[in-house]
Chains A and B, each alone.
Chain A
Amino acid sequence: DAGVIQSPRHEVTEMGQEVTLRCKPISGHNSLFWYRQTMMRGLELLIYFNNNVPIDDSGMPEDRFSAKMPNASFSTLKIQPSEPRDSAVYFCASRRTGGVTNEKLFFGSGTQLSVL
């Protein structure tokens, strides 16, 4: 199993530019999560999908952030326009949801975003 795959690993961009982060969840997992890690706030949940449907996007900071999951094997997180305060590590995670208990999350390696 290849695990959760994120791209790019590193992204450096200038303020005002559009940034698109990509994620391929583990095959067979039906839930996908986008997290952001910062020193101040730790790991904060931005949005998550169950069966490709957004369930909770209350963590999305502002309208500049948007996320899509067009199919079970692909998701994007877009920031437009980007700002320096968006600089952080963005993680995608997936799991199999349902049944008696929910299984644990598997994380990708993250995208280190730097907005200059």
Chain B
Amino acid sequence: DQQVKQNSPSLSVQEGRISILNCDYTNSMFDYFLWYKKYPAEGPTFLISISSIKDKNEDGRFTVFLNKSAKHLSLHIVPSQPGDSAVYFCAASARGANSKLTFGKGITLSVRP
């Protein structure tokens, strides 16, 4: 049973436009959410995170929005650049010293020049 769902396997956008990557979760105990970015032949790298006490967190071109009532979060990339082309994983964890990160299946983003 997937507790973190990324239902769209891929997304293609034009350079300069906005990319919106969506993620849904089912576990109401999750209170910390992260996005990881992965290039081919490399491990995932941390991109941005948000705590459940916030509904928005911004870092440069990247903004993550959290809607707790809908159990939904999204990553916005504005403006999109060809170098953003990668697989993006949504992840979530609950509070606690032994908490683990649960990942979604990932979304492949392609930014066309």
Point out residues on A near B: beta carbons under 8 Å. Answer: 4, 33, 35, 41-45, 48, 50, 55-56, 91, 93, 97-98, 101-102, 104-110
Q: How far is the CB of B86 from chain A (nearest CB, A)?
A: 14
> How many angstroms from the CA of A56 to the CA of B98 in the assembled complex?
9
- Assembly CA distance A105 to B100 (angstroms): 10
State the CA gap A103–B65 with chains docked (Å). 20
The minimal Cβ–Cβ distance linking A79 to chain B, given in whole angstroms, is 20
A102 and B106 alpha carbons, distance in the complex (Å): 22
The answer to whether B41 has its CB under 8 Å from any CB of chain A is yes
Q: Are A43's CB and B106's CB within 8 A? A: yes
Rounded to whole Å, the gap between the CB of B74 and the closest CB of chain A is 18
Contact indicator B97/A107 (Cβ below 8 Å) = no
In the complex, the answer to whether A107 meets B45 with C-beta atoms within 8 Å is: yes
Is B43 within 8 A of A41, CB to CB? no
Residues of the B chain whose Cβ atoms lie less than 8 Å from the Cβ of A98 = 97
Q: Does B62 contact A (CB under 8 A)?
A: no
A109 touches B100 (CB 8 A): no
Q: Is B85 an interface residue (CB 8 A)?
A: no
The answer to whether B104 touches A42 (Cβ under 8 A) is: yes
CB distance from B109 to the nearest CB of A (A): 15
User: Given A91-B43, A107-B45, A109-B41, does the pair A102, B97 have CB atoms closer than 8 Å?
Assistant: yes
Beyond the given A104-B46, A105-B46, A107-B45, please list 4 additional residue pairs across the A-B interface where CB-CB is below 8 A.
A42-B103, A55-B98, A56-B98, A97-B98
Contact at B43–A109, with CB atoms within 8 Å?
yes
